[in-house]
Amino acid sequence: MIKTELCDFLGIKYPIIQAGMGPFGTNKLCIAAANAGVLGLISSSGISVKDTQPGIYKYFVETGGATLQDDGKTVLKKIYRQTLEQTKQKQGIFGVNVMVSEEMKSYADLIVDTMIEVREEDPDMKKRFQILITSAGDPLPWTERVRKAGLKWLHVIPSVRGALRCKKAGVDGVIASGHEGGFHTSWEPVHSMTLLPAVVDALAGTKILVVGTGGFCDGRTLVAALTLGASGAQMGTRFLATKESDFHPMWKEGVVKTGDRGTLVARGFVGPARWLKTPVSIKHQENTLKMSPGVFLGRPDDYTTVPMELIQGEIEGLNAVYAGDESKALLAGGECAQRINDLPTTEELVKNIVREAEEVLAKVPRFLV
């Protein structure tokens, strides 16, 4: 059996984190992942699309056991409580992923404050819902609030500089996100094989846990993360393509159908994003080159310089997925999509990953003479 410091710290059976992914939310997937023995993450980005993506918002709300008449705080509370109830039998551990970029600040405040409030209402909630994963922003402004609440805190970072910022912020762990990852990626394309060991070295001698993400999707890549010095791996695209995943069937099938060299990078809401390669995403990439060239030059830009028609194009592409219009749909996904060819249950997936990892690790000693 594989066990690392990450398992002990989070209280999970296997050193795997199911990534929080948007825009559809991961309400059902989080429950399935937590019950399978890994860390299940609620993706909270759906709370922010009520006006721009009403169909996606409706799905996010209703899969969480809430209604369209509920306000934002009530929606989140119902999602948190539903997750607690449906993971009770197996005592699954779950958390929430929160984007803390400037564009998302008001929603991030709501999500985290509601998390803190609901944890005080139930001892079991406080025990099993204690992991906050922040991403797409600066962790430092969150230190006082997170520490006061007694949360276990990990932050997603794309660089050694980001890791050192996390050290200053006092996080418990970092998730080093290589450029292979799906949807939101960094402005500078540093991939996992370089990024992960560099972050491990930069944080050597501290108690900060390091998790790898970006390209990790099976037992072999989990072992790679561990041998590079990480204490576990976070997987997004691989968990997206499961039976319980909340994502639209078109999106799941798009991942399964993706072949060799099947992704590209173009503009996303908060910077560069990795998309499955389709005629729609190729056109979006062409528009990005014209309207947001910083995506390809490593020069961050924002909504003050990027034409809103480019951002609107992304919104329309995601809305098209929910509407089932493949001719206009934009589908995000990581490079590992080309290695995914099935839609297992989440439990089957976790068992297969762990079994393969154990088999690979069993063969490693033969390389030692």
Residues 275-312: pLDDT tens digits?
999 999 999 999 999 999 999 998 998 888 889 999 88
Please check whether residues 184 and 76 belong to one and the same domain: yes
Residue 361: CA count within 13 A, CB half-sphere:
17
Please check whether residues 28 and 59 belong to one and the same domain: yes
Please check whether residues 148 and 171 belong to one and the same domain: yes
DSSP 206-254: SS-EEEEESS--SHHHHHHHHHTT-S-EEESHHHHSSTT--S-HHHHHH
Q: In what helix (H) or strand (E) does residue 157 lie, and over which residues does it extend?
A: strand 152-157
Residue 278: domain span = 253-323
329 within some domain: no
CA distances for 22 relative to 7, 120, 183, angstroms: 25, 27, 9
pTM for this entry = 0.94
What is the tens place of the pLDDT at every residue in 194-231?
999 999 999 999 999 999 999 999 999 999 999 999 99
> Hey, what's the torsion of the CAs at 81, 83, 88, 91, to 10 degrees?
-120
Does 173 score more than 90 pLDDT? yes
From 124-128, 160-164, 320-324, 330-334, the region with the lowest mean pLDDT: 320-324
Structure tokens at 285: 């990439």
Name the average pLDDT for the chain: 93
Does 100 score more than 90 pLDDT? no
CA distances for 219 relative to 71, 117, 352, angstroms: 41, 37, 7
Please check whether residues 67 and 114 belong to one and the same domain: yes
- Which of 55-64, 135-144, 258-267, 294-303 is modeled with the greatest confidence? 258-267
Please check whether residues 204 and 344 belong to one and the same domain: yes
Please check whether residues 137 and 281 belong to one and the same domain: no
Q: 190: helix, coil or strand?
A: coil
Structure tokens at 149: 């609440």
38 within some domain: yes
349 within some domain: yes
Please check whether residues 205 and 58 belong to one and the same domain: yes
pLDDT band, residue 263 (cuts 50/70/90):
very high
Please check whether residues 147 and 276 belong to one and the same domain: no
Beta bridge partners of 275: 264, 332
What are the residue ranges of helices labelled H in the chain? 5-10, 27-35, 54-63, 72-86, 105-119, 123-128, 143-149, 160-169, 192-202, 219-227, 237-240, 249-257, 279-291, 294-297, 308-323, 346-363
Residue with tokens 């890549």: 221
Q: What's the confidence (pLDDT) of residue 273?
A: 94
The total number of structural domains that make up the chain = 2
Beta bridge partners of 94: 40, 129
| Count of C-beta atoms within a 10 Å radius of residue 14 | 23
Q: 183: helix, coil or strand?
A: strand
243 within some domain: yes
Please check whether residues 258 and 240 belong to one and the same domain: no
Q: What's the confidence (pLDDT) of residue 340?
A: 97
Give the domain CATH number at 46.
3.20.20.70
Please check whether residues 312 and 257 belong to one and the same domain: yes
Please check whether residues 209 and 169 belong to one and the same domain: yes
CA distances for 157 relative to 91, 144, 154, 163, 184, angstroms: 29, 19, 10, 6, 11
pLDDT band, residue 157 (cuts 50/70/90):
very high
196 within some domain: yes
Please check whether residues 135 and 265 belong to one and the same domain: no
